[in-house]
């Protein structure tokens, strides 16, 4: 089996550079939903040059999470850190626990929920690094009372490449 080659060089310096960021675990989350869900921006598309976005999603005490949907332009991957998370794998809901991983290519129908209402957290990774921050922040504002018209909501989901499946 032939493996794909490494991508072309993107850095041609001789000695490397001091260009790293450490995010400590005790830094406050960037987003908090009314339900208690928090989102930590570990690496945004802007901070990775568009390569990927990595977020820690910590569920609040209630049941929450999006139903089945897909993206046309990005992959999404889930890695469960703590607790139990229900993941939609395109055919049905499956329970995932610490160490379980789900990768969703563009067009793959998926969803996630904390149906038990117990503490749980996971990593979400998007590739390439789309600007998901506005998506998370706007949904948090909606959870706290921001109202969107049907037209605004449809435009919002389309702008953020979210396509719902019935």
User: Could you give the count of Cα atoms lying within 13 Å of 136 in the half-sphere of its Cβ?
Assistant: 22
pLDDT at 54 over 90: yes
Structure letter (DSSP) for residue 150: H
pLDDT in tens, 125-138: 999 999 999 999 99
Q: What is the CATH number for 126?
A: 2.60.120.10
**Report field, pTM of the whole predicted structure over 0.75:** yes
- Planar angle of CA 62, 116, 24, nearest 5 degrees: 65
Give the model's pLDDT for residue 63.
82
Q: Is residue 151 part of a domain?
A: yes
- 138 phi, psi to nearest 5 deg: -70, -40
Q: How far apart are CA 65 and CA 123, in angstroms?
A: 14
96 assigned to some structural domain: yes
Indicate whether 62 pLDDT > 90.
Answer: no
Which residue range(s) make up the domain with 45?
31-164
Does residue 65 or residue 110 have the better pLDDT? Answer: 110
Residue 110 falls within a domain, yes or no? yes
């Amino acid at each position: 089996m032939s493996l794909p080659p490494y991508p072309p060089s993107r850095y041609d310096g001789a000695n490397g550079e001091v260009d790293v960021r450490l995010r400590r675990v005790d830094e406050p989350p960037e987003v908090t939903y009314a339900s208690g869900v928090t989102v930590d921006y570990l690496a945004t598309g802007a901070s990775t040059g568009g390569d990927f976005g990595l977020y820690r999603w910590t569920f609040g005490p209630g049941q929450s999470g999006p139903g089945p949907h897909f993206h046309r332009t990005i992959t999404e991957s889930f890695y469960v850190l703590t607790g139990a998370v229900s993941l939609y794998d395109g055919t049905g809901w499956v329970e995932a626990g610490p160490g379980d991983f789900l990768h969703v290519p563009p067009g793959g129908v998926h969803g996630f929920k904390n149906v038990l209402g117990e503490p749980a957290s996971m990593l979400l990774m998007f590739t390439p690094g789309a600007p998901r921050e506005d998506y998370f922040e706007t949904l948090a504002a909606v959870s706290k009372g921001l109202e969107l018209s049907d037209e605004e909501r449809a435009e919002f989901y389309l702008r953020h490449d979210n396509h719902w499946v019935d």
